[in-house]
Amino acid sequence: MQNFLKSQFLRRGRDLVFDYRVVLCLITVYFILVFNWKVLGHFYAILGGLEAFDPVFAASAPFVLFFGLMAIFPIFSFRPFFKPFFVFLILTSAVVSFAMTHYGIVFDRSMITNFAETNPSEAASYLNVRSVLLFAVTGMLPVGILAFMPVRYAPSFLRGLGQKMLIVVISLSCLGGIGFGYFKDYASVGRNNKILGKEVVPVNYIAASIQYAKHRLRATQIPFRTIGNDARMTPTTGKPTLMFLVVGETARAASVAANGYDRPTSEFTGKIPDLVAFQNVTSCGTATAVSVPCMFSPMTHSTYNEGIADNSENLLDVLAKAGVDVFWNENDGGCKGVCDRIANRTISDKEFPGMCAGGLCFDETMIDAVGQELGAETGAETGDEKGDVGKDRLIVLHLNGSHGPTYYERYPDNFRHFMPDCQQSDIENCTQQELVNTYDNTIRYTDFVIARLVDALKEQSEHYNTALLYVSDHGESLGESGLYLHGAPYFLAPAEQTHVPMMFWMSSGLAQDQKIDRGCLDGLARTGAFSHDNLFSTTLGLMQVETSIYDRTSDILAACVQKGDRYARR
């Protein structure tokens, strides 16, 4: 009898087949319970902040998600690609859901751009035991079940089409019924909390991916544009100019002592008496893929168009046309197209084996790199061709800076100043103090690098008038309001992601030759409001390049030039 019952149970198990419509309902419920609990939690948190709300309206939210997804999913439930499509959807949704719930990331077109342009070493920094385990549980496990689940489909294409159309009609009818009763309530909540629409998985990242693809397609149809074709150097009898333009990564002004932070994160540059720290500077974007092309573009934050920027020359091209020797040193995974038409190099572990690990190098290597570029003894062995002394030069240094979440990998062990630090990538599981300590160590290390670069410039005083301008591409959230990292939509981004540090240093020779009043500049740095919009014309002015696209009102230094200034002929 026991063997008979066992055989019957196994036979029934083999004969068990799930109708595809049942599977659709199960998948939809899974998406609501596992991947959309954040948007539901956010929705109910909003209602909790109201003086009063209709409890039936509150209870309708999960049903809105259910019927909304059930109005879409049947379109992809035809037999040939039913399982492949939902396998892909579950796996990608598991990744998106993890990023949203653990880092507060919002998936819009800009975030998809960030994902598309992330290099392998950056992507690997997000891997840890927790992320892999959650992906296995929320992604791989249901995918495995679905892959081996026997599914019964409609016996014919036409019958299946009719069934799917019926499901869509019923779902839309139910949505219409809920909308009829609570349209004003949903409209009010949605109008005042637009972020909710970007939290619905998988609609958010699919819509953003489509927008990204359309944007890239349109960008390929934009003709390439040249700018600054009239650029030329202002005649001068003084020394040539050597400028270091240091583009920081993920540094926020709130963690910089020179910007008022109460921890000693600026102790190295703080010893440089003529270095100026600007107190109120905002970024063009909240991610490198936007901010870097924007800051080198003549467009402003309000007029910036990624497609145009991708198909246009930029500040570096204009400087090169004028005769400036321009070079880009890369240590952050890419210049986002800005350096495509000028000489450039990427720092590698082959050049600096003792200063690199996992495909990333400490920013100290940039000090040695510029030493090689200048042919000067700045701590590195020389051997490259020396720069053309007598020619104006701009050297860009794109730092790795404070790129997260593996902040602890951005500084050497001897720079573990604030302790204990967070020695893991799942930063949300560190204490807040450990996270802050780790991030502050990156800021302090960047400060050290900036100070060393100023020292390198001072060593060139015999040949050049020198200057250094440092500005970060965007800021970073460290758990404030539940947000981590960066990349939030700009209209929602907190100040931690848009308020960035900017520092400027110039030699006495440059200040004298260009008649720049240091006291005036110091006052501007304390009281003025600036942004990435100022970088384009400020750099042109400092390098004394004349061109019709130069805007004196955007040149920070122009307001502090004394009478008989270098701008009189423009």
pLDDT in tens, 31-50: 999 999 999 999 999 999 88
Q: Give the pLDDT confidence score for residue 50 in this predicted structure.
A: 85
**Mean pLDDT across the chain, nearest whole number?**
90
What band does 281 get if pLDDT is binned at 50, 70 and 90?
Answer: very high
What band does 14 get if pLDDT is binned at 50, 70 and 90?
Answer: low
Give backbone dihedrals phi and psi of 459, rounded to 5 degrees, phi first.
-70, -15
Q: Which long-range contacts (CB under 8 A, 24 or more apart) does 81-86 make?
A: 82/20, 82/151, 82/153, 83/146, 83/147, 83/151, 86/27, 86/146
- Report in angstroms the alpha-carbon separations of 42 from 174, 200, 528: 23, 11, 38
Q: Which residues of 551-561 are buried (b: 16+ CB within 10 A; e: fewer)?
A: beebbbbbebb
Strand-pair category, 393-398 with 241-248: parallel
Q: Give the pLDDT confidence score for residue 4 in this predicted structure.
A: 47
pLDDT: is 99 or 537 the higher one?
Answer: 537
Q: Is the peptide bond before 494 cis (omega within 30 degrees of 0)?
A: no
Q: What pTM value is reported for the model? A: 0.86
Q: Give the pLDDT confidence score for residue 127 in this predicted structure.
A: 78
pLDDT value at 13 more than 90: no
Q: For 134-158, what is the mean pLDDT? A: 95
The answer to whether 305 touches 546, Cβ cutoff 8 Å, is: no
- Report in angstroms the alpha-carbon separations of 94 from 138, 195, 557: 6, 20, 49
pLDDT value at 226 more than 50: yes
Return the H-helix or E-strand segment holding 233.
strand 232-233
pLDDT value at 257 more than 90: yes
pLDDT value at 79 more than 50: yes
Q: For 151-178, what is the mean pLDDT? A: 95
302, with CB counted inside 10 A (0-12, 13-18, 19+), is: exposed
Compute the distance between CA of residue 276 and CA of residue 521 in angstroms, rounded to an integer: 8
User: How many other CB atoms are found less than 10 A from the CB of residue 83?
Assistant: 18
Look at the alpha carbons of 197, 200, 202, 205 in this order and tell me if their dihedral is positive or negative.
positive
Give backbone dihedrals phi and psi of 240, rounded to 5 degrees, phi first.
-65, 160
Instruction: Give which of 569, 502, 515 is closest to 542, Cα–Cα.
Output: 515
Q: Give the pLDDT confidence score for residue 106 in this predicted structure.
A: 85
Q: Tens digit of pLDDT for each residue in 329-383? A: 999 988 999 999 999 999 988 888 888 876 789 999 999 989 888 874 333 333 3
Look at the alpha carbons of 489, 493, 497, 502 in this order and tell me if their dihedral is positive or negative.
positive
State whether residue 465 is helix, strand or coil. strand
Q: Give the pLDDT confidence score for residue 52 in this predicted structure.
A: 85
Compute the distance between CA of residue 395 and CA of residue 380 in angstroms, rounded to an integer: 17
Q: For 14-31, what is the mean pLDDT? A: 92
Instruction: Give which of 332, 359, 335 is closest to 348, Cα–Cα.
Output: 359
What band does 24 get if pLDDT is binned at 50, 70 and 90?
Answer: very high
Compute the distance between CA of residue 459 and CA of residue 476 in angstroms, rounded to an integer: 34
The answer to whether 73 touches 28, Cβ cutoff 8 Å, is: yes
pLDDT value at 5 more than 50: no
pLDDT value at 3 more than 90: no
The answer to whether 153 touches 79, Cβ cutoff 8 Å, is: yes
Within 8 A by CB and 6+ apart from 486, the residues are: 250, 286, 287, 474, 475, 476, 477, 497
Q: 44-53, 186-195, 560-569 — which is least confidently predicted?
A: 560-569
Compute the distance between CA of residue 146 and CA of residue 503 in angstroms, rounded to an integer: 55
Q: Tens digit of pLDDT for each residue in 427-442? A: 888 999 999 999 999 9
Q: For 261-290, what is the mean pLDDT? A: 96
Compute the distance between CA of residue 398 and CA of residue 330 in angstroms, rounded to an integer: 5
pLDDT: is 545 or 115 the higher one?
Answer: 545
Percent of the chain having pLDDT more than 90?
Answer: 74
Q: 68-77, 138-147, 422-431, 448-457 — which is least confidently predicted?
A: 422-431
pLDDT value at 230 more than 90: yes
pLDDT value at 300 more than 50: yes
pLDDT: is 111 or 162 the higher one?
Answer: 162
Q: 142-146, 183-187, 277-281 — which is least confidently predicted?
A: 183-187
